[in-house]
Amino acid sequence: MHILELRPSGEKKIKTISKLKELRNEITNLLVTKLGVSNDLATLEADILLQKAINEISSRTDIYTKSDIVITDSESRFLTTLVEERLLGKPISYLINEKEFYGRKFFVDDRVLIPRPETEHLVDEALQLVKQASSFCFFDIGTGSGIIPITLFLETKILGNKPLFTIVSDISYSALEVAKINSKNLIDDSNSIEFIQGDLFDYYYFDDIISLVNEDTTVIVTANLPYIDILDPRTDHFVKVYEPSQALFSPDRGYFSINTLVASFYAESLKCIKKSIRFKLLLEIGANQADEITSNMKNLGINKIKIIKDYSGLDRIISVEF
Ligand SMILES: C[S@@+](CC[C@H](N)C(=O)[O-])C[C@H]1O[C@@H](n2cnc3c(N)ncnc32)[C@H](O)[C@@H]1O
């Protein structure tokens, strides 16, 4: 592999801009030929990796406009490692520890699922509910990197509104650590969100929480839980290798986590003594799961069900009220 020539020679190297362009082309070609990504995507990724590895490159335009760029030995080594790992299939977001969601940069690493753009529909839907509510609170279950509650918190602030409280949970302690990093990075007062390690609804002391809300509160529960069938042959190989399996797969053909959460949350809501509280549950689902999940909901007695499609026209979010 030609890029290995970047290995340290023991002294600082100065690359002229033309050398940098060669380097960029070389990385792009490797990504196209070894990973099979499109030329446009490979070029973008090459730029992202150069920017990550080389201090003097602070933006994509630096690659085209700066006349001389100093690349130190340690930067060379770092760039080589990044390219090698990318060629093995490691997602670029894990390599640069960053993924954009709803216009903000979130820290990610292999403790959490890489946020997907489809999940923005869930946030949009929750914000619609906020606009109709006089008082509301958020629970996010299976929070991962914390993208959903942190985005909701910041977007409601822009709307001039504030949740009574925001509680988030994940079964994975290490995922919660990532969510806390994002909360610290993005929210001025990071105590605005309470983090709980827990299994679906188990750890919520529902009665205590309900005692904190008013009769007219809308309790908004969001959940993008694992919903992939472990036997589904369509799951991308690199997703399976690199992303946490606890974030991806659920038993019972992918339905277990969602169906269990719906049943336990609904059962708790029926016991609630503050009868005018509105419970809203927003779930991200797999593209072919809407029929089975809604029929399960109807069997429980839940009837106010709405299905929202993603940009590709696939069923993606189920919104229910009870
Ligand atoms: C599909 S990922 C979603 C992460 C994040 N909400 C997002 O949208 O990017 C699912 C998350 O649910 C968590 N999880 C899996 N099983 C769980 C359970 N039984 N209870 C709570 N969280 C769970 C995983 O650890 C993972 O962080």
- Ordered domains of the chain (ranges, CATH): 2-88 (no CATH), 110-321 (3.40.50.150)
CA distance 122 to 111: 22
**13 pLDDT above the threshold of 70:** no
For residue 238, the CA-to-ligand 1 centroid distance in Å is 19
Nearest CA to ligand 1 atom 26: 247
Contact 141, 201 (CB under 8 A): yes
For residue 209, the CA-to-ligand 1 centroid distance in Å is 21
**Helices and strands (H, E) in the chain, number of each type:** 13, 11
- b vs e for 22-42, b when ≥16 Cβ sit within 10 Å of the residue's Cβ? ebbebbbebbbeeeebeeeeb
Bridge partners of residue 220, in order along the sequence: 138, 280
Nearest CA to ligand 1 atom 9: 115
Would you state the pLDDT for residue 16? Answer: 57
For range 284-308, the mean pLDDT: 97
Would you state the pLDDT for residue 286? Answer: 96
Would you state the pLDDT for residue 2? Answer: 43
Does 206 or 146 have the greater pLDDT score?
146
**Strand, coil or helix: what is 283?**
strand
Answer whether 247 contacts ligand 1 (Cβ < 6 A): yes
**12 pLDDT above the threshold of 80:** no
Would you state the pLDDT for residue 109? Answer: 98
Would you state the pLDDT for residue 17? Answer: 56
pLDDT in tens, 147-171: 999 999 999 999 999 999 999 999 9
Q: Residue 7: which pLDDT band, with cuts at 50, 70 and 90?
A: very low
Answer whether 217 contacts ligand 1 (Cβ < 6 A): no
Sole residue written with tokens 């630096």? 62
Sole residue written with tokens 């089975």? 292
Q: Residue 70: which pLDDT band, with cuts at 50, 70 and 90?
A: confident
Torsion from C-alpha of 75, 77, 79, 83, nearest 10 degrees: 180
For residue 284, the CA-to-ligand 1 centroid distance in Å is 11
Name the least confident of 23-27, 40-44, 64-68, 155-159: 64-68
CA distance 156 to 158: 5
Per cent of the chain over pLDDT 90 is 76
Does 241 or 202 have the greater pLDDT score?
241
For residue 170, the CA-to-ligand 1 centroid distance in Å is 6
Q: Residue 210: which pLDDT band, with cuts at 50, 70 and 90?
A: confident
CA distance 228 to 235: 8
pLDDT in tens, 85-134: 999 999 999 999 999 999 999 999 999 999 999 999 999 999 999 999 99
Per cent of the chain over pLDDT 70 is 93
**Strand, coil or helix: what is 155?**
helix
Atom number of ligand 1 nearest to Cα 119: 8
For range 60-65, the mean pLDDT: 83
Would you state the pLDDT for residue 173? Answer: 98
Q: Residue 63: which pLDDT band, with cuts at 50, 70 and 90?
A: confident
Nearest CA to ligand 1 atom 24: 247
pTM score of the predicted model: 0.93
Choose the residue to mutate in 170, 181, 229, 265 for probing ligand 1, maximizing ligand atoms within 8 Å of C-beta: 170
Tokens found for residue 187: 């929210």
For range 190-210, the mean pLDDT: 82
Best-predicted range by mean pLDDT among 2-6, 67-71, 75-79, 207-211? 75-79
In the chain, where do the E strands start and end?
13-16, 68-71, 99-101, 104-106, 135-141, 166-170, 193-197, 217-223, 278-284, 304-309, 315-321
Please name the residue ranges forming H helices in 213-255: 237-242, 245-248
Q: Residue 10: which pLDDT band, with cuts at 50, 70 and 90?
A: very low
Answer whether 93 contacts ligand 1 (Cβ < 6 A): no
For range 297-308, the mean pLDDT: 96
Would you state the pLDDT for residue 262? Answer: 97
For range 282-296, the mean pLDDT: 97
**71 pLDDT above the threshold of 80:** yes
Answer whether 200 contacts ligand 1 (Cβ < 6 A): yes
**143 pLDDT above the threshold of 60:** yes
